[in-house]
Structures are given as C-alpha cells and as structure tokens.
C-alpha cells in the first residue's frame, strides 16, 4: 500500500501562486484539505513576513487532516530553505511527529532542510 508521502512524491508538482493573508486564512479554515494545503505551501514560499509565515505553517501542524499536516511540514522545510532560519518552536513542533507512520518521512526531510539551510541541528 502506498503511503501519503509516496503519493505526494508521485504527484506532479505545481508551485502555488502567492495569496493574500485573508485568502490563506480562509483556505486553512475551509473543508477542502487541498485548498488548505496549497495555502500553506504558498505562504511558506511567498509571504514576506517570516514570523507570520512560520506561525501560519505551525498552525497547519495542528490540523487533523493528513494532507494539511503534510503540507505544513513541507512548508516549514521550504521556509527554512528560503529564510535560512527557524524559531526553536519549529524544531519542537516537528519533533512531536518524529517517527510518525504517516508523516515521519516528511518530518525527516523538513528537519534535514532546517539543518542544511538554517544551520540548526536536530
């Protein structure tokens, strides 16, 4: 059986365009996991305020939908790559999913990005 991480790797990647904060807030609160996930990735890649972007992605880690959780984890990896920093609360929050059967691989990828690009060991 193919896991969520495998499914996401096999999908064709299309970078989401920038969105407004209001649109991001609406998307993450929507019933569409796909819309919420795209909002998380878009914010991680395009939001100019790093504090707001990081906090938005951290909120995504609290979502019960696997697709949204996966996007939040991936978004935090992108965030580290682009901003070259993360707050300690990101490491702590990602650590809560370390070894998770569904998203553990994505967490490892994000932590590796944080180590490489932000210089924060895990």
Q: Whose CA is closest to 27, among 15, 39, 18?
A: 39
pLDDT score for 122: 65
Instruction: Provide the 8-state DSSP code for 11.
Output: S
Task: Please say if the pLDDT value at position 107 is more than 50.
Answer: yes
pLDDT score for 4: 57
pLDDT score for 1: 44
Q: Whose CA is closest to 42, among 17, 14, 12?
A: 17
Domain residue spans in the chain? 4-118
pLDDT score for 24: 98
Can you tell me the distance from the alpha carbon of 97 to that of 103, in angstroms, rounded to the nearest whole number? 7
Task: Please say if the pLDDT value at position 5 is more than 60.
Answer: no
Rounded to an integer, the average pLDDT of 88-92 is: 96
pLDDT score for 52: 98
Scanning the structure block, which residue is given the tokens 């996401």?
8
Instruction: Calculate Rg over the CA atoms of the chain.
Output: 13
CA angle 47, 6, 26 (to 5 degrees): 30
Coil vs helix vs strand at 120: coil
For 9-41, write each residue's pLDDT tens digit. Answer: 556 667 889 999 999 999 999 999 999 999 999
């Amino acid at each position: 059986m193919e896991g969520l991480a495998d499914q996401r790797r096999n999908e064709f990647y299309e970078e989401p365009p920038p969105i407004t904060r209001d649109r991001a807030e609406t998307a993450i609160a929507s019933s569409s996991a796909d819309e919420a996930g795209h909002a998380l990735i878009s914010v991680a890649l395009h939001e100019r305020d790093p504090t707001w972007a990081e906090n938005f992605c951290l909120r995504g880690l609290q979502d019960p939908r696997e697709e949204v959780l996966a996007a939040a984890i991936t978004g935090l990896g992108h965030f580290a790559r682009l901003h070259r920093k993360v707050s300690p609360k990101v490491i702590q929050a990602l650590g809560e999913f370390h070894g998770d059967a569904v998203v553990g691989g994505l967490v490892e990828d994000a932590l590796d990005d944080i180590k490489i690009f932000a210089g924060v060991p895990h």
